[in-house]
Amino acid sequence: MAEVHETNIRVQQVPRSRLPEVDLKNISFGTIFTDHMFQADSVEGSWTDLQLLPYGPVQFNPALMALHYGQAIFEGMKAFRTVDNEVVLFRPRANFERFNISAERMCMPVTTEEVFMEGLFRLIDMDRDWVPGFDNSSLYVRPFMYATDQFLGVRPSHTYRFAIICSPAGAYYSKPLRVKIEKHYTRSAKGGIGYAKAAANYGLSLLPTKLAQEAGFDQIIWTDAVNHEYVEEAGTANFMFVIDGTLVTPPVKDTILKGITRDSIVTLVRSWGMEVQEREVAVSELVEAMEKGRLQEAFAVGTAATVTHISEIGHEDRVYRLPAVEKRELAPRILETLNDIRYGRAEDPFGWMVKV
């Protein structure tokens, strides 16, 4: 069921769509944007000036607080075109709820149903022709909010801009990943902002990720801030492991993002009658499992990442090669089932898909 009702959104449409100039089959992630965007402003806690307008540059003053003190958060979700040519969103309410959790942690105003959900549905409806209609493709939707006061003192801004932009997308990762267990840098500490989808979490990951890439890896497995003894998550996804045939994933807590894909997969796999362990995964346990050939699968799960195999895991000065991806069973079954639900090829037993 669509969740839209009519309200006060000003609409300005582009005179001519850019869509005919775009080859939806050949786009790299995050490079092409649809014709329109949604925006709303918060002034002293009230939302005003809701509008759908052409996608384009925004003007701001150099003293914009978001640029100086980092009050900036975002979400990521996807819209799919089903085999019946319907446009559906995957669990949008979960993103709405997580966005507001991030907002509270960053001392920003929460969004209302009207601003977030209605802005979202109206925007996707307006740009629905941009939702690609082939396998593994989708419309990536990026709601975000940033502080807009012009001020250099350190305090929460009084004004904010909320916006949603959309970008047609194929795969974020095009091949299995080589990941490095990070033992020096820290993504998030207890009491920090790890569970928020705050821009700062991504800014701090760039240098350690670049260093890992220079050493031949694609991504990092972040570990706990105390002793780097326990696995947490990737910079862009949560992690899952198959150890001795059981799906194991670190529990969600205040240092890691509570992934919606992770939650969906835990629900799905349990519905198959299989055990899923949400528990601490020690680096030493993982290393031992790799040495003894008991780690059958490892994969990263997220909106952009979908389900991406891990091919190699680096720990200190060793690199462990995991079983060939062709031999894996669980991750491919999960991805196929999720895709069947998303593209409308199978029943949606959990009520995850919401029609636009």
Contact set with ligand COI (CB under 6 A): 76, 236, 302-305
CA distance 306 to 300: 8
Looking at residues 213 to 252 of the shown chain, list those that interact with ligand PLP (rule: CB under 6 A): 233, 235-238
User: What is the DSSP annotation of 248-267?
Assistant: EEPPP-TTS---HHHHHHHH
- Residue 323 touches which of ligand PLP, ligand COI, none (Cβ within 5-8 Å per kind): none
Which amino acid, 289? A
Nearer to ligand PLP, 151 or 185 (CB): 185
Min dist. Cβ of residue 199 to ligand COI (A): 10
User: What is the DSSP annotation of 42-102?
Assistant: EETTEEEEEEEEE-------TTBHHHHH--EEE--EEEEE-TTS-EEEESHHHHHHHHHHH
Min dist. Cβ of residue 213 to ligand COI (A): 16
- Our finding on whether 257 is near ligand PLP (CB under 6 A) is yes
Indicate the Cα dihedral angle 31, 92, 107, 165, nearest 10°. Answer: 30
Q: How far is CA 302 from CA 51, 216, 238, 346, in A?
A: 29, 22, 6, 21
Q: Return the SS3 of 202.
A: helix
Using the rule CB under 6 A, give the single segment among 106-114, 159-167, 258-266, 310-318 that binds ligand PLP: 258-266
Min dist. Cβ of residue 207 to ligand COI (A): 16
Nearer to ligand COI, 186 or 303 (CB): 303
Nearer to ligand COI, 71 or 209 (CB): 209
Min dist. Cβ of residue 194 to ligand PLP (A): 8
Residues of this chain that interact with ligand PLP (CB under 6 A) are: 76, 233, 235-238, 257, 259-262, 302-303
